[in-house]
Amino acid sequence: MKIIHAFLLGLTAVSALNADAAPAPNRPIIVGYIYSRESPLPPDAIDAIRLDRINYAFVRIKDGRITTGCAADPQNFALLNALKKQNPSLTILVSVGGWLGSRGFSDAALSAQSRKVFILSAVEFLRQYNLDGLDVDWEYPGSKGAGNRHRVEDKQNFTLLLKELRSAFDAEAAKSHKLLYLTIAAGASDEFLANTQMEAVARVVDTVNLMTYDYTEPGSDPLTGHNAPLFANPADQRSVSSDASVRAFEKAGVPAEKILLGVPFYGHVWGGVAETDHGLFKPGKAVAQGYAPYGRIEENFLHQGFVRYWDSASQAPYLYNAATHVFVSYDDPESMEAKGRYAVNHHLGGVMFWEYMDDPGGKLLGVIRHSLDEPAAR
């Protein structure tokens, strides 16, 4: 018990010296999620030069501890770390949880003892695979998400878990002289804000990766709409947008420079949509393969009977096929340019996207990089 007490005192002392997260970078960053799909990542498929940070998704929680998500994880970590030869400033984080992997969070955060078990496993995991930090993707504190256990106490325990992770990461950094990043993926909703203490959370995390997408999804919403509108269209009765979410998080106490604007490299496909107004904000239904990576949209939708339209109010494109009554909500280079400008003009920390393999040609990533690096050219 004396050894454990001394360890905790040490964490407290280091945390007192470095209570806040790392200083914000002097330019907007790009953070890309890479989803392994439980398989080895393809060699030479990742453009390390245009990325600042990679969040590898996902590892899991088992018996309160962080564990690998699949047998290919060690091989994939080695491949990602090797990218630093091309870009020495690139950082590699591992993301724990996700929509289907958040079941163990509420239990892991429940008590001081359970948090200690989780945190020690996190430090050990990062050390074992030579990673630069942890992205906590709890979907979502205080709510069931994909049928997960949840508690009212999640609100406070989420904050405690992150504070104690920060303390442990600071202690590890003091020994290893290697900065460890701590980030979260945050749901862009009033419910997420109500179930968290974002002002306190923001003080201890490096970035809040704001998932400003999936505002409208087939099967969940009776009317079509934009996956990730930058601004709200007055004709959309839901009145949702990335801009509204950013402002809500700022109001909740998250500094702009810690917010990363989330953008999707995928779209949603709706069927049975009437032709009126080219299908926008009209009744529709879910279809097979309703998740459409940008690469598939380019290959199978653009110029294949679909017409592209632009919603100037939302700063978002959409596709409609009058013959098949299919509607597609997605992002393209024009909307990505608008979102990059928004991030720069609103002094955000940068842009985060899901997910790298959905844009195999790198077209969207290239637009984001240019829009963040060349603000004077606009």
Residues β-bridged to residue 66: 61
**Residue 234 CA, distance from chain mean position:** 27
**23: pLDDT strictly greater than 70:** no
Residue entry with tokens 């790198």? 362
Contacts of 368 (CB under 8 A, 6+ apart): 30, 263, 336, 339, 340, 351, 353
**Exposure string over 243-257, b if 16+ CB within 10 A, otherwise e:** bbbbebbbebebbeb
**175: pLDDT strictly greater than 70:** yes
- Could you tell me if 102 and 59 are in contact, meaning their C-beta atoms sit under 8 angstroms apart? no
Contacts of 187 (CB under 8 A, 6+ apart): 139, 140, 211
- Could you tell me if 114 and 65 are in contact, meaning their C-beta atoms sit under 8 angstroms apart? no
**9: pLDDT strictly greater than 80:** no
Higher pLDDT, 9 or 74: 74
What superfamily does domain 2-265+332-377 belong to in CATH?
A: Glycosidases (3.20.20.80)
Q: Share the mean pLDDT of the chain.
A: 93
- Could you tell me if 265 and 359 are in contact, meaning their C-beta atoms sit under 8 angstroms apart? yes
Contacts of 216 (CB under 8 A, 6+ apart): 223, 224, 225, 226, 227, 238, 240, 268, 329
Residue 14 CB burial class (10 angstroms; 0-12, 13-18, ≥19):
buried
**377: pLDDT strictly greater than 50:** no
Q: What digits encode the pLDDT tens for the residues 103-136?
A: 999 999 999 999 999 999 999 999 999 999 999 9
**92: pLDDT strictly greater than 90:** yes
Average pLDDT on 234-256 reads 97
Task: State the SS3 of the chain.
Answer: CHHHHHHHHHHHHHHHHCCCCCCCCCCCEEEEEEECCCCCCCCCCCCCCCCCEEEEEEEEEECCEEECCCCCHHHHHHHHHHHHHCCCCCEEEEEEECCCCCCCHHHHCCCHHHHHHHHHHHHHHHHHHCCCEEEEECCCCCCCCCCCCCCCCHHHHHHHHHHHHHHHHHHHHHHHCCCCEEEEEEECCHHHHHCCCHHHHHHHCCEEEEECCCCCCECCECECCCCCCCCCCCCCCCCCCHHHHHHHHHHCCCCHHHEEEEEECEEEEEECCCCHHHHCCCECEEEEEEEEEHHHHHHHCECCCEEEEEECCCCEEEEEECCCCEEEECCCHHHHHHHHHHHHHCCCCEEEEECHHHCCCCHHHHHHHHHHHCHHHC
Average pLDDT on 190-211 reads 98
Given pLDDT bands bounded at 50, 70 and 90, which one contains residue 224? Answer: very high
- Which residues carry out catalysis? 139
**Exposure string over 322-359, b if 16+ CB within 10 A, otherwise e:** eeebbbbbbbbbebbbbbbbbbbeeebbbbbbbbbbbb
Given pLDDT bands bounded at 50, 70 and 90, which one contains residue 22? Answer: low
**172: pLDDT strictly greater than 80:** yes
Number of Cβ within a 10 Å radius of residue 27: 12
Average pLDDT on 313-335 reads 98
Q: What digits encode the pLDDT tens for the residues 290-323?
A: 999 999 999 999 989 999 999 999 999 999 999 9
pLDDT the model gives residue 26: 75
